[in-house]
Amino acid sequence: MLIHASCADFSGAGVLLCGGSGCGKSDLCLRLLDAGARLVADDQTIVENENGALVARCPERIKGLLEIRGVGVVKTPYVPETRVCAKIVLRPSVEIDRMPDFQTETIENVPVPVFFLDGFTASAVLKVKTIVAIVCQQRKVVS
C-alpha cells in the first residue's frame, strides 16, 4: 500500500512521518538524518504486512531522493527497508494534547502506535528519538 509519508530508520526501528503538504515531513526527516537516522523514503512510502510486522520501503522512482525546500531534490544515502515501530502525525503545536492518551492505528492489519508532534519545533528530533526509545521499551511513559 502506498501512503503519503516520509520514513526514517533508527537502527532497524522505522518511523513514519505523516501529514499534509508543507507540514514538515521532509524537513524533519532531514534533521533526523543529521541525528543519526537513515532515510528510507521521502514523501511516499510503501508499507506492507510481512508476517505480522509492518515493513516500509521506498517506491523505486524516488529511492535515495530527499526534497529539501529552498534547495531542491538531493541524492541521499538510504536503506531499502525498515520495520515500522511508530507513526508520527505532524501538526501545529496548538492542535496537540499536552498529555495525550496512548493511540494506535491499524495499518495493513498491524497495530502501530501513533504520536502527534509539531515537526518544526526545536525539540522535534529529540521527541522522535524518545518515541523510538519508548516503543522499543528502552524508556517508559509514567503518566
Annotated catalytic residues are 4, 25, 43, 98
CA gap 78, 108 in Å, rounded? 24
Residue matched to cell numbers 497495530: 111
Q: How many Cα atoms within 13 Å fall on the side-chain side of residue 89?
A: 12
Integer Cα distance of 56 and 40 in angstroms: 8
Half-sphere exposure of 90 (CA within 13 A, CB side): 26
The H or E element containing residue 31 is helix 25-34
